[in-house]
Structure 1
Amino acid sequence: MKILYLDCFSGISGDMTIGALLDAGGDFSHLQKELQKLPLQDEYELKVHKIVKNGITSTKFDVILKNGEHVHSRHGHSKHTHKHSHDHDHKHHHHDEDDHHGHTHHHRSYRDIVKMIQEADLSEKVKSIALSIFKKIGEAEGCIHGVPLEDVHFHEVGAVDSIIDIVGTAILIEELDIDYIKSAPVPTGSGKIHIDHGIYPVPAPATLEILRGVPIAQSDLKAELTTPTGAAFAAVLANEFCDLPSMKVMKVGYGAGTKTFPDHPNVLRIILGEQA
């Protein structure tokens, strides 16, 4: 049986997961080709490169968003992301009718995203994994904002980012032929973050809601280590939470986050192995 262990000692986010899966042998050209089956090709570009984080060579995966004349990388100070520059994939998905100050961002509803994934020419396994993860995020956002799941809206740019991270992860899990997923307890970090609604504690409300039922690991780092997307990966994909299990190690992958800490590599390590 082929096991994937999520060693999320520095938290988990969408881009860290894809970076780690690519680093462990996932095929980037296959990922690109499969993602082109979604009607989003004109909205983004993918970028992958090696980066050294505190002495560890890891793979950094980026979704560069094309929005009119602007290219929003995930480090943008734009309205649909956090107001600070180092946190990228916290696509806190709001249903509020806020004023976009002349921006032409639209919203994508949960219903729209489900329809898009269902209608794409992707395998049933990829669709099933992606829809389960989106449902987990949508339910959490609906719970926090007090709206039914079907009425949850995702800021367009955040939604594109989420869709790529979530469907992309499903594509790579299928490609790597993984039978069973285990995860370490999930550290969320501590401190405060700025999101569209104001200053919030870490973990952000949606992240904490998604992690209901998941073992959380205490962390003194004053940063948001786990994002809603990353939390949903752990909550939906992992069949159990444990220390490193008995297995014959085949591949190890390191996916880089955007933060840099003085004495702590901000990477997600994944371990692929065989278990009898």
Structure 2
Amino acid sequence: MKTLYLDCFAGIAGDMTVAGLIDLGLPLDVLRDGLAPLPYTGYRLESERTERHHIGGSSFRVILEQEDQPHRHYGDIARTIEDSQLPDGVKARAGRIFLRLAEAEAKVHGVDLERVHFHEVGAIDSIVDIVGTAIGLEYLGVEQVKASGLPYGSGFVKTAHGLLPVPAPATAELMQGIPVTGPIGPGERVTPTGAAIVAALAEGFGPPSGFTVEKIGYGAGEKDFPDLPNLLRLVLGMPTAETEQVLVLETHIDDMPAEVFGYVMERLLAAGALDVALAPIQMKKNRPATKLTVIAREADLDRLSGIIFAESTAIGLRHYPARRIVIPRRVEERETPLGKMRVKVLGNGRVAPEYEECRRIALERGIPLLEVYRIVGRENG
């Protein structure tokens, strides 16, 4: 399982994350093409080699034709992403980041999710940063994200809502459940977009351990701080130990329409659940029911249990710690009789075709999906 470690020693922002992914090998042309399915225009992308405190890295900028950007509602952005032709993996990650941002803004301002409207985060450059991050992770084959603690920062920051303390209220909300370090100097070191990327995608926190480093990239922020290099370090590697601590959430439901379960599953996965499963069971008094099982990170317990209670008829929930073991795997592009395709290569040598790739080939060629699996599996077995 290819792992990306976000070393936020100087903080994190959306542009720094994309810059770091470019430094790791994401071509700017691939990023441009990846963003093409979105209906946003009036911008161009720039990236160049730069340095901070004599440490080399990459920068990333979104140049807008018009500085004044309209405020966009969360619901509009979420629907635009969902209705686009972006790959499902990109949609899922970008959707999770925007959802975490919207949840934080909704709590800070006391409004419903659909009424949340973004100021800075609703501008095209922030949308590009978030979707661009998801595109970069997909391109590099990243399957797991981990992160260091986040510097808390100090002072004040100028926003559309006026002068606010650092971290800004939405950022502070997003940092709940994430280890923080003390102020490393005045100024905003973690932006709302940066905090949302970590909160939505990171599956573990702390110093890097348990994986072999393959490549390191540095994403440069716009500011040049005097106290330390304004860089985000991205460490790409393969885990040497595929075990991790998780929580298992369970509940039995016997009084909910069957079609609602699919919606609940979608909400849980979008909110960061590692896995969701449904199984038929027989309860007391011989009543048929459904067992809902969720595998989650401990930091996501409150959010996921809140979704279960809000979106289902469950009146109780069990949760207990567990450890999960995952076979190491990586994504490779291989030549097949049906053309180049991305496949998963498992640590035990087995090759598993990627569903989205097989689905794409089946639709393009008008052949059954099972036939694609058979051909690709035979070729790589």
Task: Assess same fold via TM > 0.5.
Answer: yes
**Between structures 1 and 2, the one with greater strand share:** 2
Contact 1:190 1:221 in 2 (8 A): yes
The residue that corresponds to 2:108 in the other structure is 144
In structure 1, C-alpha distance between the alignment counterparts of 2:202 and 2:151, rounded to whole Å = 15
Give distance in 2, aligned partners of 1:51 and 1:137. Answer: 30
Could you list the per-position Cα deviations for residues 208-262 of structure 1 after superposition, in whole angstroms to 9, with x for gaps in the alignment? 0111111111123101000000000111111000102132211100000011122
- Cα distance in 1 between the residues matched to 2:49 and 2:91: 29
- Which letter maps to 1:134? F
What amino acid is the match of 1:161? D
Deviates more, 1:161-170 or 1:242-251: 242-251
User: Is the counterpart of residue 205 in structure 1 residue 169 in structure 2?
Assistant: yes
Which runs of no fewer than 5 residues in structure 2 stay unpaired?
241-381
**Larger Rg over CA atoms:** 2
On the 8 A contact 2:70/2:122 being kept in 1, the answer is no
Whether the aligned pair in 1 keeps the contact of 2:12 and 2:189 (CA below 8 Å) is: yes
Aligned to 1:23: 23
Counterpart check, 1:258 vs 2:213: no
> What is aligned with 2:43?
44
**Match of 1:9, SS?**
coil
Which residue identity is paired with 2:44?
E
Q: Which has the higher contact order (CA 8 A, sep 6+)?
A: 1
Gaps of 5+ in 1: 73-102
Q: Following TM superposition, by how much is the alpha carbon of 1:15 offset from its aligned partner in structure 2, in angstroms?
A: 0.2
Give the Å deviation of 1:156. 7.7
Aligned to 1:270: 234
How many pairs align?
240
Q: CA deviation at 1:181?
A: 1.1
- Tell me if 1:59 matches 2:58: yes
- So what's the TM-score if we normalise by structure 1? 0.83
Of 112-121 and 189-198, the range deviating more from structure 2: 189-198
Aligned counterpart, 1:82: none
**How much has 1:158 moved relative to structure 2?**
4.2
Aligned to 2:151: 187
The aligned amino acid for 1:217 is T
Alignment of 1:170-249 (within 5 A): 170-249=134-213
**Which whole-Å CA distance do the structure 2 matches of 1:263 and 1:132 have between them?**
33
Given the superposition, is the C-alpha separation of residues 149 and 10 from structure 1 closer, same or farther in structure 2, using an over 3 Å criterion? same
Aligned AA for 1:32?
A: R
* Partner in structure 2 of residue 154 of structure 1: 118
Does the residue aligned with 1:239 lie in a helix, a strand or coil? strand
Residue aligned with 1:260, SS: coil
Shift of 1:157: 8.0
Contact 1:11/1:187, CA 8 A, preserved across alignment: yes
Contact preservation (8 Å) 2:72, 2:122: no
Q: Which residue in 1 is equivalent to 2:81?
A: 117
Over the matched positions of the two proteins, sequence identity in percent amounts to 47
TM-score by length of 2: 0.61
SS of the equivalent of 1:167 reads helix
Identify the residue that residue 97 of structure 1 maps to in structure 2. Answer: none
Tell me what 1:4 maps to.
Answer: 4
242-251 or 58-67: which moved more? Answer: 242-251
Preserved contact between residue 214 and residue 238 of structure 2 (Cα < 8 Å): yes
Q: Which runs of 4+ in 1 moved over 4 A?
A: none
